[in-house]
Amino acid sequence: MAHVLDEFISQPASDTEVFYKRPLPDSCIAFSSKEGKTIFEEALLSGHMESYFKLASQFRTQDEPAFCGLSTLVMVLNALEIDPGKVWRRPWRWYHESMLNCCVPIAVMEKEGITMDQFIFMAENNCLETRLTYVDETASLEAFRAVIQKYTKQDESVITLSYSRSVLSQTGDGHFSPVGGYHPSRDLVLILDTARFKYPPYWLPVSLLFEAMQAKDNLTGKYQKFILYVT
Amino acid sequence: MAHVLDEFISQPASDTEVFYKRPLPDSCIAFSSKEGKTIFEEALLSGHMESYFKLASQFRTQDEPAFCGLSTLVMVLNALEIDPGKVWRRPWRWYHESMLNCCVPIAVMEKEGITMDQFIFMAENNCLETRLTYVDETASLEAFRAVIQKYTKQDESVITLSYSRSVLSQTGDGHFSPVGGYHPSRDLVLILDTARFKYPPYWLPVSLLFEAMQAKDNLTGKYQKFILYVT
């Protein structure tokens, strides 16, 4: 079952309707806005942007509207400097979405995205150790925040999340993104959203993100999850 | 005459020799290293990272080894929020390398890169106003530094450069990159290099960059240039 079709879902664009990005909802603060820059500076000084630099070095736009899972994984693999052991463009070994076809043909992923199971399978098949946590109705906001707080202060591991865009008042629904940083006193988290043709990177409240992760996925009927990668 | 073949030039890799990145020379400080993070924080507090945020939001890996010019231009177009007026992937209007084929077929650019004239033509053909300055033997380091200082304190315009990698002790030669920021007391400039499969983003001395821009291009025999984009 596809999980990451979000760029097509809940925005029944006609065949002729096209967009130049979407307005970022008020719940989100754009990374490059004046306020976003202030938040970044304060977060940096707080020590919770340690996780930012490796990921920012590999921040990318997903090559296809359904590739949020694939592109998030490519970001993580290149940020954590995993050598794929195979050539992308001669003479370079490097990760690209087109090389993550170990369980589903790329043409199928272009149409249907990937499931969380496929996401994890591909990560582990490419030398990443993963720790999966479901955010269901028994989950604790405090425990979630503690993970965000802990892992934004280091750069050996990366947190990726799946969440419901609709809870954030964004168009679409189930979506994958890496976490870029944290602002402690305002309790904001930085999302490095790979659908950059739609939304820029943004800060949003941890509590709202938590809510967006508690929403069941429309397609799979499952709870959202977050994954911690450890090399 | 091709200008951006650098990823192939001066590294006569055999058909079987392949690489996972290249060691960053001592003249350059990696963006995500401990020292790089300190430089970033100090530069941010100095006010010379205003130019960083929009570019970082669109930082990307060039899709082909010869695409440094094309990918630098795509970064600038998306960072400055130019609406291409045509669809990339339905329903999204967005810039991608594959859409910058107004003067040379993409297949040719994949093999040969682009010249500076083509680079400028494509920029202006996509609604960017450009200001071109050659860095020849009459150029002044102080004047170059003053431009870097001025335009890293704002985010309406973007500086892109062409320079000789070999002067930086990097493999390859002529290369295009956007400027991400500036550290005044250490006189370092941040280069957001799109060949991320080869080098990470890096800080380097303005004086060395200036020297790398004074070198004549191996292929065209012309001096390097820098370009300022104004929307």
Q: Look at A140-144, B30-34, B47-51 and tell me which has the smallest mean pLDDT.
A: A140-144
Q: Provide the β-strand partners of residue A29.
A: A203
Annotated catalytic residue within A28, A68, A183, A217 = A68
Of the candidates B193, B3, B211, the one whose C-alpha atom is nearest the C-alpha of residue B117 is B3
Mean pLDDT of B93-118: 87
Nearest-CB residue to A89 (from B54, B65, B78): B65
Q: What DSSP designation does B224 have?
A: P
Mapped onto helix, strand or coil, the DSSP state of residue B88 is strand
- CATH-assigned architecture of domain B29-230: Alpha-Beta Complex (3.90)
Measure the CA–CA gap between B194 and A11, rounded to whole angstroms. Answer: 33
Tell the residue number behind the tokens 């060039």, with chain if given: B62
Model ipTM value: 0.92
Nearest-CB residue to B65 (from A54, A92, A196): A92
Mean pLDDT of B170-181: 93
Q: Provide the β-strand partners of residue B204.
A: B189
Measure the CA–CA gap between B36 and B42, rounded to whole angstroms. Answer: 10
A-proximal residues of B, 59-78, CB under 8 Å: 59-61, 64-65, 78
Using a CB-CB cut-off of 8 Å, the residues of chain A touching B54 are 32
Mean pLDDT of B30-42: 98
Site from B59, B61, B67 to mutate, A interface, most A CB atoms within 10 angstroms: B61
Residue B45: band (very low, low, confident or very high) from pLDDT cuts 50, 70, 90:
very high
Q: Provide the β-strand partners of residue B19.
A: A92
The string of DSSP codes covering A82-145 is ---SSEEETTEE---GGG--SSS-HHHHHHH---HHHHHHHHHHTT-EEEEEE--TT--HHHHH
Measure the CA–CA gap between A229 and A214, rounded to whole angstroms. Answer: 21
Measure the CA–CA gap between B103 and B114, rounded to whole angstroms. Answer: 10
What tens digit of pLDDT does each residue of A120-133 get? 899 999 999 998 88
Mean pLDDT of B44-54: 98
Domain boundaries, chain A: 29-230
Mean pLDDT of A141-165: 94
Closest residue in A to B32 (Cα–Cα): A53
Q: At a CB cut-off of 8 Å and minimum separation 6, what does B172 contact?
A: B6, B7, B8, B9, B10, B11, B165, B166, B198
Kindly report the length of chain A. 231
pLDDT for residue A217: 72
B199–chain A nearest CA distance, Å: 10
Q: Provide the β-strand partners of residue A177.
A: A161
What tens digit of pLDDT does each residue of B68-87 get? 999 999 999 999 999 999 99
Please tell me which residue, A118 or A224, carries the higher pLDDT value: A118
pLDDT for residue B40: 98
What tens digit of pLDDT does each residue of B140-152 get? 999 999 999 999 9
Q: Look at A35-49, A84-98, A124-138 and tell me which has the smallest mean pLDDT.
A: A124-138
C-beta atoms of A18 and B54 within 8 A: no
**Rounded to whole angstroms, what are the CA distances from A203 to A39, A65, A93, A169?**
8, 22, 33, 14
Chain center to CA of A62: 11
Residue A14: band (very low, low, confident or very high) from pLDDT cuts 50, 70, 90:
low
What tens digit of pLDDT does each residue of A61-78 get? 999 888 999 999 999 999
